[in-house]
Amino acid sequence: MIVSFIHTVSLSHQIQSGYLGHIDRRLHRPYPKQDIEDKIDPELLKYPQEKKAAATKALLQVYDNLIPRWKGVVLTAEAEVEAHANAAPIRPENFGNGKKNGLPWANMKFTGTIGPEQSRLDELDTYISVKGERMSLEELAQYKYHIDIGGGGGTTWTGTMTKMAMPGLLFHHVTPTKDYIHDYMKPWIHYVPIKADLSDLREKYEWAESHPEAAEMIASQGSDLMRHLGTPQGFGEMYQDVFVDQVRQVIEAYQPVKTTQPRTDWKEVLESYNNGFKIKKQEKPDGDVSTEAPAVATKLS
């Protein structure tokens, strides 16, 4: 297996900041001029590698304000700059001497664009490598590690299930939002949790590299979970739990307005609430998922 992170994603989910941008107004995608061009020495633009290193440094200064998927792109650029700096020259005497081969530890880029974002993406790609190669599922399955960075809505449920089903270890992006499948996934049992800002991603990667047996066990248990949920029995249990039982509770709780408040229609009931119905923001996912690494990963009994 290839020892590197791999994350491929279409930019179609990245045009707006989406739900995550609404709960954190700081989040945005990078701006080529104000975030890069205005901050680097024009002389460096003449030299490709120096230009890339300077652009990466500039983007790291606004890292905290970037949408998660763009955080992944910036981390990738940083990994590529680091790998280039540490790579041993391609000479016979360097073969087999343990020197690094220049492979970045992470690769989290966009694989497609739509609409007006194409020009922005093309411009940013002149500074750092933003666009990656689209891969088949067979190619993705050859990688040792995967990450399912959430999009504008905070999650990527198809990416989560697909990557967890693969042999590699899933680094699951934990955000304030979640999908129904997340209730069946347990941290440090089926996946390694990663903070919403990806700030612990490198640390978790190094943990997995130094604990190969635990990482392999977690990856295997994650694959087993997806295999079970993909069977008629497993899917049936999940359908019953997340749809049938939930809808039944709504139906059983329903009381007609004419019964609860005679001589009043439903519009008047809604208007009686001050400012309408309010949506409460949930700061953390249910269960307050810990992203701290345990001494030993948990094996299912």
pLDDT per residue of the chain (301 residues) written in tens, 0 to 9: 455 556 555 433 333 456 666 777 888 889 999 999 999 998 888 889 999 999 999 999 999 999 898 999 999 999 999 999 887 665 555 544 445 557 899 999 988 766 667 788 889 999 999 998 889 999 999 999 999 998 877 788 788 999 999 999 999 999 888 888 999 999 999 999 999 999 999 999 999 999 999 999 999 999 999 999 999 999 999 999 999 999 999 999 888 888 888 888 877 777 776 655 554 544 554 445 666 766 556 666 5
C-beta separation of 171 from 5 below 8 A: yes
Q: Do the domain assignments include residue 23?
A: no
Q: Do the domain assignments include residue 202?
A: yes
Of 147, 111, 116, 110, the residue nearest 16 (C-alpha)? 116
Q: Do the domain assignments include residue 116?
A: yes
The pTM assigned to this predicted structure is 0.79
Of 223, 66, 199, the residue nearest 130 (C-alpha)? 66
User: Residue holding tokens 């005497």?
Assistant: 93
pLDDT of 13: 38
List the domain range (segments joined by +) for residue 119: 2-14+105-229
262 backbone dihedrals φ, ψ, rounded to 5°: -55, 150
Q: The CATH number of the domain where 135 resides is what?
A: 3.40.50.2000
Of 157, 102, 137, 122, the residue nearest 11 (C-alpha)? 122
Q: Do the domain assignments include residue 34?
A: no
Q: Do the domain assignments include residue 71?
A: no
263 backbone dihedrals φ, ψ, rounded to 5°: 65, 25
Q: How many domains does the chain have?
A: 1
Within 10 angstroms of residue 167's Cβ, the number of other Cβ atoms is 15
Within 10 angstroms of residue 2's Cβ, the number of other Cβ atoms is 13
